[in-house]
Amino acid sequence: MALVLTEEQQLLKNSAREFVAGTFAVDQVRQHRDGTYPGSDTALRYSRDHWQQMAELGWTGIIFPEQYGGLGLGYAELGIVLEELGRALAAQPFVSTVLLAGNTILRGGNEDQKQSWLPGICAGEKVLALAFQESGRFSPWQISTRADATAEGFQISGEKRFVLDAYGADQLVVLTRTSGSSGDRDGLTLFLVDPAAKGVSITELKVLDSRNAALIEFNGTEASAEQVIGEVGKAADILEPVFDCAIAGLNAELVGIMSEAFERTLEYLKTRQQFGALIGTFQALKHRAADMFCEREHAISMTMAALRAIDNKSHDAILLISAAKARTSDAANLIGRESIQMFGGIGMTDEEDIGLFMKRARVAEMTLGDSTYHRERFAQLSGF
């Protein structure tokens, strides 16, 4: 697949841009943070109405087959939407519901489970969260949360951290250990768990990007064999590609974030006066802007290539995904730092939007592995 948008993709991009511009203002990030966002449940930190509207546009179902109410399109298309959402720092449960929990059910669930949840996701009626991470750093098989076999099924105990969009979710997908010890790839098992089930306690977290994340404690929560997704002990096989696809999606969001931050900075360089001249005439700033431009172009290329590699089922898809995550994270970090520096004092204030881009980028950078993690993985996959 060529690294350009097809005509259909361009139409999707245009409509996404239009919807996003009309729906999400960057200032909503502050409203979510300060609890001033209109709506009944400010702790939700996103809008169910907007989620519903995007479902009507088909976006929540882009990667899901038509039989479950999806569009049956690919990651290239999903990336387009995520990039546009990234530009507006729009908080929506895409990563959690579509890329993590939804994709886990699609790839690992049985027909019953798919029918129970995927149409709801595509229709924008259900929000799901994948509870996997337990430590500060992405390390997918470092799982200590136990699911112990009982006469009736399983009993889950343990703590999950940074669970995206867990507060207010309709269902949780929980990664547990049924055998082996923390760090083993084998012995992991996924469960569908009702957040209202006994022994589940959800604490909302307040994080840097003002989005919905939670700490979940499971205290002897009961689960039946029907709640198991896929085979007992084999969750890693399901999750590995799920994580990779989610990373590819995050890359697209990061491209959107850095593009908007970069363009706003360029605009500032073209309008801000100092010492009787536009600051964009200062050569030192020009050269740094040119460097930022190069980094962003590469981030765009790698992100597009990785998304298309998933759609093409290319053998090098994983390599491209990790390479792209390292590049987008580093480029977003550079642009975040340079943007604030070029805005100067005003860039340091909460009143100015530019800092919000850096905050969201920071969270996206480290979600599912930062650039150090993915550079290491790239080296491993390359065999050196």
Partner 1 sequence: MNTENDPDKFRIIVSDWIEQNYPAELRQAPGADGQDPRQSKPYEQAWLQRMAEQGLLAPTWPKEYGGAGFSADQARILSQEQRRAKVRAIPISAGLSLLGPVLLEHGTPEQKSQHLSKIARNECFWCQGYSEPGSGSDLASLSTRAELIGEEFVVNGQKIWTSHADDADWMFCLVRTDPEASKHEGISFLLIDMKTPGISVSPIRLISGPSAFCQTFFDDVRVPKENLMGHLGQGWTLAKQLLQHERQALGSIGRGDARRALTLPELAAQEMGTDDLGRIADPGIRTQVAQCELDSLALRTTMSRSADEARAGQSGGHIASMLKLYGSELTTRRHELMISMRGADGIGWEGPGFTPAAMRTTRQWLRAKGNSIEGGTNEIQRNVIAKRVLDLPE
Q: Does 15 bind partner 1 (CB under 8 A)?
A: no
Window 235-254: contact mask with partner 1 (x via CB under 8 A)? --------------------
Among 179, 251, 289, 312, binds partner 1 (CB under 8 A): 289
Q: Does 114 bind partner 1 (CB under 8 A)?
A: no
Q: Does 33 bind partner 1 (CB under 8 A)?
A: yes
36/137 with CB nearer partner 1:
137
Instruction: Enumerate residues 6+ apart whose C-beta is below 8 A from 58.
Output: 71
220/344 with CB nearer partner 1:
344
Site residues for a copy of itself, 144-203, by CB under 8 A, read: none
Ramachandran assignment for 6, one of left (phi > 0), alpha (psi -120 to 50 degrees), beta (any other): beta
Q: What is the DSSP letter of 26?
A: T
Among 205, 217, 237, 314, binds partner 1 (CB under 8 A): 205
Interface segment toward partner 1; rule CB under 8 A; list 46-54, 188-196, 208-216, 249-257: 208-216
Q: Does 304 bind partner 1 (CB under 8 A)?
A: yes
CA torsion 71→74→78→83, rounded to 10°?
A: -150
Shortest distance, position 301 Cβ to partner 1, whole Å: 4
Among 47, 171, 210, 221, binds partner 1 (CB under 8 A): 210
Window 273-302: contact mask with a copy of itself (x via CB under 8 A)? ---------xxx-xx---------------
- Of the candidates 140, 260, 124, 118, the one whose C-alpha atom is nearest the C-alpha of residue 192 is 118
Residue 154: beta bridge partners? 149, 223
Distance CA 156, CA 324 (A): 36
**CA–CA distance from 4 to each of 45, 270, 300, 307 (Å)?**
34, 29, 11, 12
- Of the candidates 200, 179, 201, the one whose C-alpha atom is nearest the C-alpha of residue 189 is 179
Among 55, 143, 302, 332, binds partner 1 (CB under 8 A): 302
- Of the candidates 140, 202, 128, the one whose C-alpha atom is nearest the C-alpha of residue 175 is 140
Site residues for a copy of itself, 351-380, by CB under 8 A, read: none
Distance CA 321, CA 311 (A): 12
Site residues for partner 1, 156-195, by CB under 8 A, read: 161-162
CB 164 within 8 A of CB 133: no
225 binds, options partner 1, a copy of itself, none, Cβ within 5 to 8 A by partner type: none
Q: Does 345 bind partner 1 (CB under 8 A)?
A: yes
Shortest distance, position 313 Cβ to partner 1, whole Å: 18
Q: Does 359 bind partner 1 (CB under 8 A)?
A: yes
What phi and psi values does residue 214 have, to the nearest 5 degrees? -145, 160
Q: Does 378 bind partner 1 (CB under 8 A)?
A: yes
Q: Does 337 bind a copy of itself (CB under 8 A)?
A: no
Q: Which pairing describes strands 171-177 and 128-131: parallel, antiparallel, or unpaired?
A: parallel
Among 3, 11, 43, 225, binds partner 1 (CB under 8 A): 3
**Tokens describing residue 96:** 């959690």
**Site residues (CB under 8 A) for a copy of itself?**
282-284, 286-287
